[in-house]
Amino acid sequence: MGNSNPDAALAAADVRVAEALAADLADEPASFEEAVQRVRACVTANHANTLPLLACLRAVPEPTPYREAADAVDALPVRGLSTQNAYVLFDLLEKSGGVRAIPIAEPAVVPGPASDEPAPSAGFEPASIPAPADPAPAPAPASLPDQPVDHLLVITEAGRAVLDEFEPSRRLAALLEEEPAGYADAYGRVLDLCSAPEGASRAEVEEALAGHPALLSPKQIYPNYFISKLETVDGISWDGRWHATESGLRLRALAG
C-alpha cells in the first residue's frame, strides 16, 4: 500500500538520495565533468529540493560559517519547498562535492606569565608547612547538549558550474527553446500578472489565460502547466498568492 503522507514520502526520498550519494561518491571523480555531474545529480534527484539546494549554493560564494549559512537559507521562503532543513541540504551538497568544508583551527593556548618570586637560595630549607586539608570535590558539570562542530563552507568549482547552469534566465531560455512557439506569450502573461505588487491568485492566472491558443495547440494543457514551469525555474513564488521573483522580473524580457 502506498505512503499516504507526501511529506514522509519526500523525506524517505531524501534518505535514499543520501544513501545513493554515499555509495556513488566513495571514489574521487575522474574529471571535472564527472564532478559537475555528481552535483547536478544531487540538485535534481528530488525536485522539491532543487531550488532550496541552489539557494544553499548561492549562500556560500566565499567561506562562510556553517551555522550562519544554514540559518540564512532556512530564513528564505524557497526553503519551505523542501521537507529538509538547510543543515541537511548543505550535508547533501558536501557529500556530492557542491560545497567544501573548511575546518576552523582551535585557538592556540597562550602560556601564563612567569612567576616573579625569586628561586630559593642553595642550602635554604623552607619551614615546615602543614599540608592543606583535602579540598571539597568540585560539583560535576551539567552535561551539555550536543554542539555541532562549527566550520566554514564554500562553493566548489563544480558547484559553481551547476549554479551557473541553473541560473533562472538560462533555464527559461532553454525551456522556451524546447516549447512550442506560442507558449512564450502565455509565460509572459503569467509573469506580467504576477509582477503586480499584489501578485495573483491561481484563479486570476486561469482567467488571464482563458481562451489562449497555447492551451489547445499543439495539445490541450491547463494554466497550471505554466505556473508549475515558472516556479521550477524560480520565476514566481507562492506566499498565499503568486509573485514574480527578482529573477522572474528579469525573465520577462525573455518570454517575449
CA atoms of 24 and 96, how far apart (whole Å): 9
Q: Would you give the DSSP letter of residue 130?
A: P
Residue 201 confidence (pLDDT): 96
| CATH assignment, 169-255 | 1.10.10.10
pTM for the structure as a whole: 0.59
CB 201 within 8 A of CB 214: no
Same fold across 6-104+150-166 and 169-255: yes
Question: The domain 6-104+150-166 is classified under which CATH number: 1.20.272, 1.10.8, 1.10.3470, 1.10.10?
Answer: 1.10.10
> pLDDT tens digits for 196-228?
999 999 999 999 999 999 999 899 999 999 999
- Please compute the mean of the pLDDT values over residues 67-80 and round it to a whole number: 90
| pLDDT tens per residue across span 1-40 | 444 454 555 455 555 555 555 545 557 888 999 999 999 9
Residue located via cell numbers 514574480 = 244
For the chain, the domains span: 6-104+150-166, 169-255
Question: Which alpha helices (DSSP H) does 63-136 contain, by range?
Answer: 66-74, 86-96
